[in-house]
Structure 1
Amino acid sequence: MNRLALLALTALLSQASAVTITVATVNNPDMVTMQKLTPEFNKKYPDIQVKWVTLPENELRQKITLDVASGAGSFDIATVGAYEVPIWAKNGWLKPLTPLFGKNPDIVKSYNLADVLPGVRSALTVGGSLYAVPFYAESSMTYYNKDLFKAAGLTMPAQPTWTQIQTFASKIHNPAKGVYGVCLRGLPGWGENMALFTTMVNTFGGRWFDQGWQAQLNTPAWKNAMTFYVNLVKKYGPPGATGNGFTENLTLMSQGKCGMWVDATVAAGFLSDPSSSKITKSVGFAKAPVGTTARGNNWYWSWNLAIPKSTKQEDAAFKFLTWATSQEYIALVAKTKGTWASVPPGTRTSTYQNANYKKAAGAFSGLVLSSINTADVNKATKDPVPYTGVQYVAIPEFQALGTQVGQYLAGALSGQYTVDQALKLSQDAANKTAREGGYQK
């Protein structure tokens, strides 16, 4: 057999033995980069083909939850949040990863699981077993345009209050020139507008439920927070705010159209990347705002890769998720993007010890790490509560409840409801959820 024939036969045999895995992920910039780098994975594992399903956050959650809960098996890797992992693990919907690490000593050595930040790793561990690995982890922080602040004679403190944010917004807001005082999430969804708004409620002294699981959404704290949020966004936010989530506000901020933006720490790298941001030299960073208390002002979140129990490609899926969350992958992103500031943050100690990362991300890396480390899912409210979570309530029913309340909040912002009407509807929905879930005694 000549050389060409041998190569052709080898190619045919490789195609015949190749497996295909389907990865479901959110359309955030970091995940888009992961999809673009698939050919690099194929170089390492030529016998594994990767099919992508990339969706907006709300739609992704619905599709993955339905598929994983029903055992349909459409996805071999699911991108899931810190909220879902412990709930889904207890439901038996996810493959435990600890046994898979045990079966793959070569991957264990190169992956260095001990390098993953302890708090992040702990949030993904249930009953002593790891059920997902972090693609990136985040808290929340305040971004501001230093050029706009300088022109207005303003100074952003290291720890702003929400009242200061409102004052700054009033002085920067200039819609005639396409500049808005502040951009905040308005798109309905438990992981969209309610993520930001719940941290605001926390700092206004509010909580979702008291220790008897009685809803607390008709309290002065919630009314003060919702009134403040609606007034702030209506007066000093961009038009059509109810259509703006993380991605839309990232675009506005990176184009220089927002004076301030309170959102995920993961955006710090994007705003510092010249290929995607026009404000790399003027973006400033501060802690997430506080109200009457600092408790629960900055959220904790991670996007993670997990293997649904229904997969038939367990080994191939494991190889992909360990590749995409490895030190090797992080270095690959830095090389591809041309800057270490753009790597997936918040997951590994080695990233924050890396001299190149310190040089590229020095303006924000310490603040990001501090925010992640200080976000406490067990003590996020002024008064005691029967649940965990900073920007969510860690019960299965919250996905539906949070989105429902998010719709009422968006209704108050758009003028469909008054604040009082939105709070009444939200209070009733929360009590109904607690009763039907068996939480209220």
Structure 2
Amino acid sequence: MKTDVLRSSLAAVVLAMAGTQAYAATTVTIATVNNNDMIIMQRLSKQFEAANPDIKLDWVVLEENVLRQRVTTDIATKSGQFDVLTIGTYEAPIWAKQGWLAEITGLPADYDLDDVLKPVRDGLSYQGKLYALPFYAESSMLFYRKDLVEKAGMTMPEQPTYDDVAKLAEKMTDKAAGVYGICLRGKPGWGENMAFLSTLINTYGGQWFDEKWTPTIDSPEWKKAVGFYIELLKKYGPPGAASNGFNENLALFASGKCGMWIDATSAAGKLYSKAESQVADKTGFARAPVAVTPKGSHWLWSWALGIPATSKAQPEARKFIAWATSKPYIERVGKEVGWASAPPGTRASTYANPNYVAAAPFADFVLKSINEANPNDATLKKVPYTGVQYVGIPEFQSIGTQVGQAIAGALAGTTSLDDALKVGQAAATRAMRQAGYLK
């Protein structure tokens, strides 16, 4: 009798332990940016967890500049806080070279990697190997209020110039009504104000470095481009422009406060959604403006999901990022949120989907802009680097942010344009000398 009781007790303990093991979920910690598409991903990820009860997702959602600082510190120090990092075409090849990222292998047979657009795939690869999966990809374009252009008695060219932009901004501005002719990124950061400004500088004939890696921030091309930007925003931009980044300008345009906005093509889905934009039926689009040259006038970027080499949950992390960047996920967003909100720029099948094309009048335009952006030929003069709106070297993250801070100061009126460019030139020269690019 006692033996039977003992056996029953042992059996109960074994079953309890087995049950605990069966339901012990592996936690995957995800660092991501607080952009609209990622907020949707976080919300829909409950479906992933339901289908994978052995995986628990822990989200760390941060503003863009903070995210970049946190994930860079984490991966460089190998502290291993995150299992999935939201990174881009700048970080992926640089970090892969350092051995900081896990190569993306073992994808499900139905993932269809060939469906992912080649410029995006290439941007997330190093030496022919893939190190991140693209969640969405983008170029840049000009959004504008069709009703305000018409009211001004003007037309928006398919390929506007920056002179066109200045004339339109003047006509569209009605500060008494709270409408500003132009909204542009002013928040400092290599991926904030300097993303836009790099394209502006490119099209004005400038570049970050000459062929010998000497910084050119104090050049006439930079002074003309940045001077135009500051004057444009001071005359026709919203108050506090030096604090506005992508999300702030998106909110301003969607609420009817901007006549024009030059920024990421990924914003189109929200601006054309009647549920999220007050000007959905009034929004038009055109190519990113040009000045001296069309080279480098529109950028190429992908927000992607990578796995740090330090992650102890790599199989689970790989399962999640494959789910979040798959064809079925895009279909899920289309059906549950709206086809205009489907993650853009990553897959050929999205642009062949009649549901997406019908809901997104900008679809073909965006696809063409992504395919035309050329990180290997983005400047009028020859340069030793790749990248359109950034320079593909590790030092650029710090250099770009320092220059962005100096220019934001000039926009805010706390320093002069000349002084801002001198500060930027000195900081860049110092950094390049310390890194061994200059003697």
What secondary structure is seen at the aligned counterpart in 1 of 2:331? Answer: helix
Mapped pair 1:84 → 2:94: no
In the alignment, what sits opposite 2:356?
357
In the alignment, what sits opposite 2:268?
268
For 1:104-142, what per-residue CA distance to the aligned partner results, in whole angstroms no more than 9, with x for missing partners? Answer: xxx1x2211111011111111212221000000000000
**In 2, Cα distance between the equivalents of 1:14 and 1:369?**
47
In the alignment, what sits opposite 1:104?
none
What secondary structure is seen at the aligned counterpart in 2 of 1:304? Answer: strand
In the alignment, what sits opposite 1:68?
75
**In 1, Cα distance between the equivalents of 2:36 and 2:171?**
31
CA contact (8 A) 2:185 2:192 kept: yes
Could you state the TM-score of these two structures normalised by the residue count of structure 2? 0.95
Mapped pair 1:56 → 2:63: yes
Q: 1:71 to 1:148 in 2, by over 3 A?
A: same
Paired residues in the alignment total 427
Q: 1:46 to 1:202 in 2, by over 3 A?
A: same
Over the aligned positions, Cα root-mean-square deviation in angstroms equals 1.5
How far did residue 157 of structure 1 move? 0.5
**In 1, Cα distance between the equivalents of 2:50 and 2:16?**
19
Unaligned runs of 5+ in 1: 102-106
How far did residue 308 of structure 1 move? 0.3
Q: Write the mapping of 1:249-288 to structure 2, written as runs, cut at 5 A.
A: 249-288=249-288
**In 2, Cα distance between the equivalents of 1:203 and 1:273?**
31
For 1:68-125, what per-residue CA distance to the aligned partner results, in whole angstroms no more than 9, with x for missing partners? Answer: 1111110000000110000000001000113x33xxxxx1x22111110111111112
**In 2, Cα distance between the equivalents of 1:278 and 1:126?**
42
**In 1, Cα distance between the equivalents of 2:370 and 2:402?**
27
CA contact (8 A) 1:148 1:172 kept: yes
In the alignment, what sits opposite 1:375?
373
Give the structure with higher Rg (CA): 2
Could you state the TM-score of these two structures normalised by the residue count of structure 1? 0.95
CA contact (8 A) 2:269 2:342 kept: yes
What secondary structure is seen at the aligned counterpart in 1 of 2:399? Answer: helix
**In 1, Cα distance between the equivalents of 2:425 and 2:73?**
27
Mapped pair 1:422 → 2:429: no
CA contact (8 A) 1:187 1:245 kept: yes
For 1:202-256, what per-residue CA distance to the aligned partner results, in whole angstroms no more than 9, with x for missing partners? Answer: 0110011100111111111011011100000000000000110000000000011
> Which of residues 31, 55, 66 is equivalent to 1:24?
31
**In 2, Cα distance between the equivalents of 1:218 and 1:271?**
37
In the alignment, what sits opposite 2:144?
144
What secondary structure is seen at the aligned counterpart in 2 of 1:134? Answer: strand
**In 1, Cα distance between the equivalents of 2:162 and 2:428?**
26
Mapped pair 1:403 → 2:401: yes
**In 1, Cα distance between the equivalents of 2:205 and 2:161?**
14
Q: 1:69 to 1:353 in 2, by over 3 A?
A: same
In the alignment, what sits opposite 2:346?
347
**In 2, Cα distance between the equivalents of 1:187 and 1:163?**
24
**In 2, Cα distance between the equivalents of 1:112 and 1:394?**
28
What secondary structure is seen at the aligned counterpart in 2 of 1:392? Answer: coil
How far did residue 33 of structure 1 move? 0.5
**In 2, Cα distance between the equivalents of 1:243 and 1:272?**
25
**In 2, Cα distance between the equivalents of 1:331 and 1:272?**
18
**In 1, Cα distance between the equivalents of 2:24 and 2:425?**
56
**In 1, Cα distance between the equivalents of 2:181 and 2:21?**
57
For 1:281-335, what per-residue CA distance to the aligned partner results, in whole angstroms no more than 9, with x for missing partners? Answer: 1100100010111110000100000000110001100000000000010011111
CA contact (8 A) 1:134 1:325 kept: yes
Mapped pair 1:46 → 2:53: yes
**In 1, Cα distance between the equivalents of 2:352 and 2:377?**
29
What secondary structure is seen at the aligned counterpart in 2 of 1:97? Answer: coil
Q: 1:234 to 1:12 in 2, by over 3 A?
A: farther
CA contact (8 A) 1:14 1:47 kept: no
What secondary structure is seen at the aligned counterpart in 1 of 2:134? Answer: strand
What secondary structure is seen at the aligned counterpart in 2 of 1:262? Answer: strand
> Which residue type is aligned with residue 294 of structure 1?
P
